[in-house]
Amino acid sequence: MSDGGKKRIVIVDDSPAYCDLWSNFITERYEEKAQVETYSHPYEALPKIDASIDLLIVDLEMPGMDGKKFVDYAHLKGLPPRRIIVTSSHSADELHQRFRLGEAIAVINKTEAKQQEAFLMILDSVMRR
């Protein structure tokens, strides 16, 4: 954990609207327990990626950098797969084809209700650790 016991959550998504939506949701849901950082440009986030992150939420498709490459970089910087969630508007089946089991804690379609339920369960679990 970072900053006075708060969980460090980093969101990297080229949509500022999704960054704001998730940041606001996490901040409201977990109040003083989360320190949320958002980046709508993957290259701004790269220098901030290290093993101190409690949860990295990264979009699969971003201009200038593929989310898969971003996840690979996070692994190289010491971030364990159990702290990474990949999101996309692609189907969950397609996401599972692009990411092998064990590369991330989850790959989630950000528009399907059932997938969002899974995301929430994972988020709750991370915040309890």
pLDDT digits (tens, 9 = 90+) for 61-103: 888 888 889 999 999 999 999 999 998 887 767 776 777 778 8
Whether residue 73 lies inside any domain: the answer is yes
Whether residue 75 lies inside any domain: the answer is yes
Whether residue 1 lies inside any domain: the answer is no
Whether residue 108 lies inside any domain: the answer is yes
Please provide the DSSP assignment of 96-120 as one string.
Answer: HHHS-TTSSSEEEETT-HHHHHHHH
pTM, rounded to two decimals: 0.89
Kindly report the CATH number assigned to the domain that includes residue 12.
3.40.50.2300
pLDDT digits (tens, 9 = 90+) for 7-38: 999 999 999 999 999 999 999 999 889 999 99
Residue 7 is classified by DSSP as E
- Number of domains, the chain: 1
- Residue 13 vs residues 4, 20, 32, 63, 97: alpha-carbon distances, Å: 26, 10, 23, 10, 21
Distance CA 18, CA 65 (A): 17
User: Apex CA 11: angle with CA 80 and CA 90, to 5°?
Assistant: 90
- Domain range enclosing 61: 7-128
In the chain, alpha helices (H): 16-30, 42-45, 67-76, 92-98, 113-128
The token pair that represents 86 in the structure block: 């990949």
pLDDT reported for residue 16: 95
Distance CA 74, CA 8 (A): 15
